[in-house]
Amino acid sequence: MSYKVIGNSIDRVDSVAKVTGKAKYTDDFFEREMLIGKVLRSPYAHAIIKDIYIDDALKLPGVEAVLTYKDLPNIKFATAGHPYSLDPNHKDVEDRLILAEKARFVGDAVAAVVAKDEIIAKKALKLLRVDYDVLPAVFNPEDSIKEGAPIIHSEKEDNIIASSVINIGDIESEFKKAEYIFEGEYETSIVQHCQLENQSAYAYVDSNDRIVIVTSTQIPHIVRRIVGQALNIPWGKIRVIKPYVGGGFRNKQDVIIEPLTVAMTLAVNGKPVRLSLSREEVFIDTRTRHAMKYNIKTAVSKEGKLLGIYMKNIVNNGAYASHGHSIAMSAASKFRPLYNFNSIKVEPKTIYTNLPTAGAMRGYGIPQVCFALESHIDDIALKLNIDPIKFREDNFINLGYIDPLNNIKVRSFGLISCIEKGKKLIKWDEKKEAYKKYYGNKRRGLGMACFSYFSGTYPVSLELAGARIVMNQDGSIQLQVGATEIGQGSDTIFSQMAAEVLGINIKDVHIISTQDTDITPFDTGAYASRQSFITGAAVKKAALEVKEKVLILASKKCGLNISELDINNGEIIEKKLGNVICPLAKIALESYYDRENAAPITSDISENIKINAVAYGVTFAEIEVDIETGKIEILEIYNIHDSGKILNHKIAEGQVQGGVSMGLGYALSEELLFNKDTGEPLNNNLLDYKIQTILDTPIIGVDFVELEDPAGSFGQKSLGENPTISPAPAIRNAVLDATGIAFNKLPMNPQRVFEKFKETGLI
């Protein structure tokens, strides 16, 4: 095929709509006489709701309804955006009611009002009175599992959502034969996604008595199912529409506001009701990244070979399960195709506390385990006096590695090449030598950290994706996918894939960005860096089917065998001679209007993917740390990826730059803080919660090692979440290099760094 689209830096298909403001998001849509919903939230971290007095609020002119848990089905449901499981043992924990009968964190939703406008709704909230029976609360996961701790959910009296033991090999024998044994404790913080668009939805009952939900979500088909479960409504009576989405980072991989929004519209006889969260509400009643504490013990041979690793992981899950233990299990699996340990033992424990619920966030547990593991690897290299790069390279897995527990095979392994690129870009050897002389108040250092990551969720979860193509009369196509564009560029990539297979210009691919569960092919949604790998296979399959139908018609016209024909730049050609037989548009037109043989050219397929691919990468960082203030400045940072074939370099670079920026905040400044006695949030706003601004962000170097992976439909592997994984440990290791001080807790903000310098006597 001579016409190439894949691999080119084609502009995003939605770029003009977004920069000109033509793209419409959930809050840009209105229904006539739209009502407004607002939520009353608990001021207590743990309290039984004895009674709610609603009469005064109902008397306020303009108030249409007031809801409490007494008005709603007593059905506990799971909010996690996972595919439905027919196996009861594989289902998510069902521990959530639409409105709480017992508040389990400060900000838990205990009542809701529906009013004619926002001002009236807010006034109505102030008129609600709640009798609480305040209970003791617990905020630390280690305290939560002690005897006598408050019970947060009666179904889990020990407050443990789940615990596991993952065992590969004989860890005890590895420790017995080891020359060295190293131990370390590493801790990460609670952070928030801070996507630009807050969670927002509205719902109404249409003329056919069906419920319509318009929502900012990553998982429209899953929203339909969970709303149906929460309200005991047949799933087919629910229609979910997803417009443009202003970012998610997996925060919109939970079904959080949609069940309540539907309950509100049902309470007012199907009138349209909008529920939009404020930024302060998003911080506490959507999802956060899990804080994790790792205790690691590692056996190393006399020759510097990693023999075995034993990791204990305590996970703070907050008040509700959400994705629950699956994130801890993800952290226990995705690091395994990295180092060649003879034995691995991991014991993750996921625990309820009276804090906001932790759930899915970009990287799904891997930024936490990567910080712990890659910090630990550097600590070992330092104590053994081995260059940290050499130590890693001597211990990497080999091409062809098969994970003994999930059977995922490494079919392409470009990590060493990634390291070579990064090492050269940052001038590792010469700067390492030069920075040995830095002993003043400002010291410089270099650090690096590696990672491995999967492409989708197979074999743990179902990986099903759908694609539909309809060829128009002019030879262009309509492309529909169930996979959701949430800002990452997937619509552009899918358009490129279809154009590549069909040999047409990408301008002739009209992709439908809005997902609508009544119309759109089934797909589980945007998460797990799955879309180009999973849905891409469906798009390719659909495009190949359309191409075959086109060439069959062309073959009948010219008499040549279908194998002798191809499509190039919108024209049917004879492959060997290259001569044009006819325009594609002619075939398309005849497929609609030929009086004898008219049959429009279409394809509507699903693809059930039962394979995975391991992506790799590395971050190199050069930092300068001010000993007197504790401020860490990033001088240079490079993020290098082995993600297989890069489908669009411009979009890939944007993904990397955004992911690294998120990783910088995780490393240096972001932490959601709470009153240690009451659980009240202290910085749930964008003024006090310190994300990186453009002024804080250095130039981010991006590069790729392109080794096509045979598992990918175009040789691709995952990239979306990967860039945010390794910046934090790379920066931490650079600070270790500069100062000799190991920072084992995130974030490394000036206060924490200054205090550590004082504690260690550096100041």
Residue 259: alpha-carbon gap to chain centroid: 22
Residues in CB range of 180: below 8 A, 6 or more apart: 299, 300, 301, 302, 380, 383, 384
Residue 39 falls inside a structural domain:
yes
Tokens standing for residue 559: 């008499």
* Strand (E) or helix (H) holding 116: none
Residue 141 falls inside a structural domain:
no
**Whether the predicted pLDDT of 2 surpasses 70:** no
Residue 737, helix vs strand vs coil: helix
What does the mean pLDDT of the chain come to?
97
Within this chain, do residues 502 and 601 fall inside the same structural domain, yes or no? yes
Residue 164 falls inside a structural domain:
no
**H and E: helices and strands count for the chain:** 19, 30
Tokens standing for residue 351: 């625990």
Within this chain, do residues 436 and 568 fall inside the same structural domain, yes or no? no
Task: Tell me how far apart the alpha carbons of residues 531 and 510 are, in angstroms, rounded to a whole number.
Answer: 18
Q: State the pLDDT confidence band at 1, using cuts at 50, 70 and 90.
A: very low
Residue 297, helix vs strand vs coil: strand
Which residues, in sequence order, are bridge partners of residue 156? 153
pTM of the model: 0.97
Cα distances (angstroms) measured from residue 47 to each of 152, 213, 237, 542? 10, 32, 35, 53
Mean pLDDT across 502-530: 97
Domain count for the chain: 3
Residue 749 falls inside a structural domain:
yes
Last residue of a domain, one of 561, 586, 608: 608
Express each pLDDT in 473-494 by its tens digit.
999 999 999 999 999 999 999 9
Tokens standing for residue 232: 């005991």
**Whether the predicted pLDDT of 338 surpasses 90:** yes
Cα distances (angstroms) measured from residue 40 to each of 46, 77, 103, 126, 504? 15, 21, 11, 9, 54
Within this chain, do residues 541 and 688 fall inside the same structural domain, yes or no? no
Mean pLDDT across 69-91: 95
Place of tokens 């309804």: 65
Residues in CB range of 303: below 8 A, 6 or more apart: none
pLDDT for 4 equals 84
Within this chain, do residues 219 and 270 fall inside the same structural domain, yes or no? yes
Where does residue 305 rank: exposed (0-12), middle (13-18), buried (19+ CB within 10 A)?
Answer: middle
pLDDT for 32 equals 93
Q: Which amino acid is at 282?
A: V
Buried b (16+ CB within 10 A) or exposed e, 314-348: bbbbbbbbbbbbbbbbbbbbbbbbbbebbbbbbbb
**Percentage of the residues of the chain whose pLDDT score is greater than 70:** 100
Residue 146 falls inside a structural domain:
no
Tokens standing for residue 131: 């009798």
Task: Tell me how far apart the alpha carbons of residues 593 and 466 are, in angstroms, rounded to a whole number.
Answer: 28
Express each pLDDT in 656-698 by its tens digit.
999 999 999 999 999 999 999 999 999 999 999 999 999 999 9
Cα angle 427, 666, 690 (rounded to 5 degrees) comes to: 115
Within this chain, do residues 507 and 584 fall inside the same structural domain, yes or no? yes
Contact between residue 242 and residue 514 where contact means Cβ atoms under 8 Å apart: yes
pLDDT for 89 equals 85
Within this chain, do residues 649 and 729 fall inside the same structural domain, yes or no? yes
pLDDT for 436 equals 83
Within this chain, do residues 748 and 640 fall inside the same structural domain, yes or no? yes
Within this chain, do residues 643 and 603 fall inside the same structural domain, yes or no? no
pLDDT for 437 equals 76
Within this chain, do residues 265 and 308 fall inside the same structural domain, yes or no? no
pLDDT for 3 equals 63
Give the domain CATH number at 332. Answer: 3.30.365.10
Residue 187 falls inside a structural domain:
no
Task: Tell me how far apart the alpha carbons of residues 139 and 188 are, in angstroms, rounded to a whole number.
Answer: 15
Within this chain, do residues 447 and 566 fall inside the same structural domain, yes or no? no
Express each pLDDT in 291-327 by its tens digit.
999 999 999 999 999 999 999 999 999 999 999 999 9
Task: Tell me how far apart the alpha carbons of residues 415 and 619 are, in angstroms, rounded to a whole number.
Answer: 11
Q: Please give the sequence-ordered ranges of beta strands (E in DSSP) within 194-284, or none if there are none.
A: 200-205, 211-215, 238-242, 273-276
Give the domain CATH number at 210. Answer: 3.90.1170.50
Express each pLDDT in 404-455 by its tens digit.
999 999 999 999 999 999 999 999 999 999 998 777 899 999 999 999 999 9
Mean pLDDT across 612-633: 97
Residue 157 falls inside a structural domain:
no
Mean pLDDT across 497-515: 97
Task: Tell me how far apart the alpha carbons of residues 58 and 38 are, in angstroms, rounded to a whole number.
Answer: 14
Within this chain, do residues 730 and 602 fall inside the same structural domain, yes or no? no
Residue 634 falls inside a structural domain:
yes
Within this chain, do residues 734 and 639 fall inside the same structural domain, yes or no? yes
Q: Which domain holds residue 528?
A: 14-22+464-608
Express each pLDDT in 691-739 by its tens digit.
999 999 999 999 999 999 999 999 999 999 999 999 999 999 999 999 9
